[in-house]
A and B are shown apart, each in its own frame.
Chain A
Amino acid sequence: MIRFISLAALLLLWQIGAWLSDPRRIPGPMAVFEKIYEEAVSGALFSNLAVTLARVVAAFALAMSFGAAIGYVMGRNKLADRLLDPWLVTLLNLPALVVIVLAYVWAGLTEVAAIGAVALNKLPNAIVVVREGARALDPHLEDMAEVFRFSPAARLKHLILPQLAPYLAAATRSGLSLVWKIVLVVELLGRSNGVGFEINMAFQLFDMKLLLAYALPFVALMLGVETILVQPLERHVSRWRRGVSRRLDRV
């Protein structure tokens, strides 16, 4: 309810802003919703959203799988950590724009370059978070798994992944929002479709209605992914923590 009121207040503020300003500079909510409807009917909205979402998913999956693997190795192996740490620090401090431009220059204005550049921007962040998780693995439980001779698959599924789950969830949350923002920049600089491309068009034409008509549905889409996928998944993997307060006494 409070969220609803808050959202309504935001819309109202927007409307007031539109009234006070030039409608070309700040179009009102109704004008933007009409534009969204128009773009949706023509099909352009959905095809651009789908293209961008596919890039987000691909770049995110790449960054998370490589980031988790590298982060795990760095967290568990001192030599690997020392060897790779300078690379990691370099990558962490390299501006996203530099990575994107270099990728386009070296690999051409291709899909591979676009997705690769986004993944490379997210990669160091995933590595750092998962490395922390790998360092915090409980050695007592590891001894237990050793004595009971857990298979490698059982070790991964029952011992390592549950301990890394909170770290993977944190990397997922910060990662999704980072990745979709960078995907728009990549599209703006070197792709001919997607939300970022449309926003660039709107900027060139000074069409604020078009700009918002693409930005808002995409924000809504990412919010939907967060609430429908990420949050329930996080709740599922942390369900064992909930029982702490109702410890059973001896029987």
Chain B
Amino acid sequence: MNDTSPAGGAASLDVSIASKDYHSASGRPLRALEGLRLTLPAGQAGAVVGPSGCGKTTLLRLIAGLDKDYFGTIVLPEHGRLGMVFQEPRLLPWRSVIDNIRVAAPQAPEDDIAALLDELGLAEHAAHFPRELSLGLARRVALARALAVKPDLLLLDEPLVSLDAALARDLREMIARLIDERRITTLIVTHDLREAIALGDRLFLLSARPAHVVATIDVPAPRRTLAKETAERLEAQARDALAAAHAGSQPGHP
């Protein structure tokens, strides 16, 4: 199978981390990840779900190449161009919305950037500075910036966190539509199972620290028309897997 679309190709994301340690202030190493393995076919969206503090963001930082201090291998999709939406939007406050996108994606044609702003409902905010935007708008700008680079892999770190329910739903639908249309290989990190089921083709459930993948669940395609019962069944299945892993990981603790 060799897809020639610019968005993906046949390459996929392949992560295999033997261990990742942190050094706490006392100097004692703290194991964040251990024996973590996940693979994501090209053009699919994977959702990493786990309890908070389990090392999801650490995993994302390793995949993004921001932290190289680990044992294991990470194979990125072909060309390895990354687009990332951080938990905080991380826009350059001294550049306007459109300049933030231009600076991150200097090779993107102006027409593409304009179309992207239009699609994300940001056209009227192009000249605004990030401080003038609400969090929901700033997240959308961060998403536009990540898409403007035509990424081979799109990384989203808790893209819906701290938004109110209506806003989160709008953004979730926007993200789902964009990654479906563009077939970008996407990895989403979230603590919310429902969000993961709504956005991911494949769920990776993480244990508590040191984190590893306790179960991989494929969401039956097409997920946009997923029946409510199927979604609920998946959610229950995932909850059971997480609960079992959590109970199993602390045998020595009273």
Contact = CB atoms under 8 A, between A and B. Distances in A.
Q: Do the two shown chains form a genuine complex with each other?
A: yes
A150 B65 CA distance: 14
A68 B92 CA distance: 22
Interface residues of A, number: 26
Contacts of A251: 121, 124, 137
Contacts of B149: 148
Given A158-B92, A240-B129, A249 B134 contact: yes
B84 A154 contact: no
Contacts of B124: 251
A248 B65 contact: no
A144 B86 contact: yes
B136 A240 contact: no
Interface string A130-162: 000000000011011011111100100011001
A150 B66 contact: no
Interface in A59-76: none
What is the predominant secondary structure among interface residues of chain B facing chain A? loop
Given A148-B149, A158-B103, A247 B133 contact: yes
B131 A243 contact: yes
A3 interface: no
B128 interface: yes
Given A158-B92, A248-B137, A251-B121, A150 B103 contact: yes
A241 interface: yes
A250 B134 contact: yes
B31 interface: no
Main secondary structure of the interface of A (DSSP, over half): helix
A78 B249 CA distance: 40
Contacts of A241: 93, 131
B121 to A, nearest CB: 7
Nearest to A243: B132
Residue among A154, A237, A250 with most chain B CB within 10 A:
A250
Contacts of A144: 84, 86, 90
Contacts of B137: 248, 250-251
Contacts of A5: none
Contacts of B125: 248
B82 interface: yes
Contact of A147 (B66, B94, B133): B66
Contacts of A140: 86, 88, 90
B94 to A, nearest CB: 4
A148 B84 CA distance: 8
Q: Top 5 nearest A-B pairs by Cβ distance?
A: A162-B94, A243-B132, A148-B104, A144-B90, A240-B94
12 contacts: A140-B86, A143-B64, A143-B86, A146-B65, A146-B66, A154-B103, A154-B106, A237-B94, A244-B132, A248-B133, A250-B137, A251-B121
Interface of B: 61, 64-66, 82-84, 86, 88, 90, 92-95, 103-106, 121, 124-125, 128-129, 131-134, 136-137, 145, 149, 155, 167
Given A143-B66, A240-B93, 4 more contacts: A147-B84, A243-B129, A247-B133, A248-B128
